Amino acid sequence: MQTTDSPSGFAASAGRAAGRSLKPLIRRCTFVGSIVRVSTERPVIVLTYDDGPDPLGTTAILEALEAKRASATFFVLLTRVRRHPRLLDDILAAGHEIGLHGLDHQRLSSLPYGTAKARLRDGKAELEDLTGQLIRWMRPPYGAQTFATWHAIRTTNLEPVMWNRTTWDSRNVSQQERVAMATQRPISGTILLAHDGFAGEADGVGDGPEPTVDRGRLTTLILEEFQARGLSGCSLEAALEQGTAVREGWFTRKEG
């Protein structure tokens, strides 16, 4: 997915419009917050993958994670789960966590409230039937979220999970640049955004050609860099076993 790299697009634009004091105010609105990182003493980075499952990307990433004994949270699209049901089984069998990314990749914020809510309800139910597990987390496509879609997510017994670091794997940049972006000034509890697939027309969107990315290799390089700094990768669920979710207001319609 192509996402804004800024966790505060709305805050930034609203802040420019209404004065600089608004941005910290919105960020402090944790009662309407989304999870953006984990507060933890453990040296872990939360690995998250969106837009899969994908025959190439997911398979390569699962191999890379296994080699580094890392776990991750996969935010899946039902359009893709239906096409590749065995890949969902592979993710679960390897001990990773599943979250919802959507029935397809359309922005919830572009849909009427009732439609967005029905999609969330149906996506959660279908994924719970397929996995036999409770689905707790929702990653909105593009990180696009309004108060209405935040409310729809929360009242569907889901919780929005955003990120505070990206791998730039939706951009046509070098692997070296992606690794540098993902691993600069690493802090325990960081939630890292990556992708095991690339949403396309079959997922309800047209976001242009897929960038060239060796996704398995990128995961390996990032985990090696973290390892050199004493950090390991794990799922959100695993990070929260000895940590606390940090929530911030995240409201944006933008995409990057």
Tell me how many residues contact Zn ion (CB under 5 A): 4
**CB-wise, 1 or 152, nearer to Zn ion?**
1
Q: Are 36 and 7 in contact (CB under 8 A)?
A: yes
Least distance (Å) between residue 3 CB and Zn ion: 7
CA angle 145, 150, 153 (to 5 degrees): 120
**CA trace torsion 131, 44, 162, 240 (10° rounding):** 60
| Stretch of 48-56, 112-120, 152-160, 209-217 lying at the interface with Zn ion (CB under 5 A) | 48-56
Least distance (Å) between residue 29 CB and Zn ion: 25
**CB-wise, 53 or 243, nearer to Zn ion?**
53
Is residue 51 near Zn ion by the rule CB under 5 A? yes
Is residue 103 near Zn ion by the rule CB under 5 A? no
Least distance (Å) between residue 94 CB and Zn ion: 21
Binding mask 213-252 for Zn ion (x = CB under 5 A): ----------------------------------------
Is residue 97 near Zn ion by the rule CB under 5 A? no
Is residue 161 near Zn ion by the rule CB under 5 A? no
Ranges within 125-154 binding Zn ion (CB under 5 A): 141
Which of 1, 45, 130, 223: binder of Zn ion (CB under 5 A)? Answer: 1
| C-alpha pair distances (Å), 76 with each of 82, 97, 138 | 11, 10, 9
Least distance (Å) between residue 123 CB and Zn ion: 13
Q: Are 14 and 26 in contact (CB under 8 A)?
A: yes
Is residue 50 near Zn ion by the rule CB under 5 A? yes
Amino acid residing at 30: T
Instruction: Please report, as ranges, the residues that interact with Zn ion according to CB under 5 A.
Output: 1, 50-51, 141
